[in-house]
């Protein structure tokens, strides 16, 4: 296969198109229909815009296939070459999936709540894994800012937490999830 898959991705890909393209990308990758270079280029193209980045992560992090559990170099390099949005959206996905898992566990229908909680925990695990494997310089700064806003309810992500209505238990769980990503402060 030539670069037809990559060239089929619009430059200004919409959120919905990015989801569809990512699902197709994962199917074709799983069936070995794409080279590593094509996978890397396709992901790099998808994450050039905020909508494309959001759509990629919605599809990738929630995909049922095991392929998303072990991101290989082609996936990591595609994300690494991405835009400013990759780190921000991925750190937010870690925070949101952490809080959402708690919400699902609280639901009265325990069977449904536990299956949704498991899906949120899978997104959390995949987000954490990508954040640890990517060497994007923005990750520690964004994680530190999100951690701080979850801690003292101020700062640049305070409105993010307010918009989603996260309570103190959820913010505390988010702090625990973000803590390994936050740069260590020198001892004084």
Question: Are 40 and 117 found together in one domain?
Answer: no
Alpha-carbon separation of residue 27 from 20, 30, 72, 128 (angstroms)? 11, 5, 15, 23
Q: What pLDDT was estimated at residue 44?
A: 94
Within this chain, do residues 58 and 105 fall inside the same structural domain, yes or no?
no
At 184 the pLDDT is: 80
Count of domains forming the chain = 2
pLDDT confidence of 1, banded at 50, 70, 90? very low
Parent domain of 117: 85-181
Among 80, 112, 137, the domain-final residue is 80
Q: What is the pTM of this model?
A: 0.88
In this prediction, residues 119-145 reach a mean pLDDT of: 93
- Residue 20, both tokens: 């569809």
* Confidence check: pLDDT of 24 > 70: yes
Tell me the average pLDDT across 65-80.
93
- Both 170 and 91 in one domain: the answer is yes
Residues 36 and 71 in one domain: yes
Return mean pLDDT, the chain.
89
For residue 187 the two structure tokens come to 């001892």
Q: Is the pLDDT of residue 110 over 70?
A: no
How many Cβ atoms sit within 10 Å of the Cβ of residue 123? 22
Are 17 and 40 contained in the same domain?
yes
Rounded to a whole number, what is the largest CA-CA distance in the chain?
58
């Amino acid at each position: 296969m030539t670069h037809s898959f990559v060239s089929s991705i619009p430059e200004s890909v919409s959120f919905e198109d990015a989801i569809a393209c990512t699902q197709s990308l994962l199917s074709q990758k799983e069936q070995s229909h794409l080279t590593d270079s094509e996978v890397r280029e396709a992901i790099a193209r998808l994450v050039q815009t905020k909508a494309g980045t959001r759509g990629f992560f919605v599809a990738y992090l929630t995909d049922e296939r095991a392929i998303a559990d072990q991101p290989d170099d082609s996936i990591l390099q595609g994300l690494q070459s991405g835009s400013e949005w990759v780190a921000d959206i991925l750190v937010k996905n870690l925070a949101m999936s952490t809080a959402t898992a708690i919400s699902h566990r609280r639901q009265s229908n325990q069977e449904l709540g536990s299956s949704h909680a498991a899906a949120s925990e899978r997104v959390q695990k995949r987000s954490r894994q990508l954040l640890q494997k990517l060497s994007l310089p923005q990750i520690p700064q964004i994680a530190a800012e999100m951690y701080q806003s979850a801690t003292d309810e101020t700062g640049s992500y305070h409105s993010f937490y307010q918009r989603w209505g996260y309570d103190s238990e959820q913010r505390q769980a988010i702090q625990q999830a973000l803590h390994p990503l936050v740069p260590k402060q020198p001892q004084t």
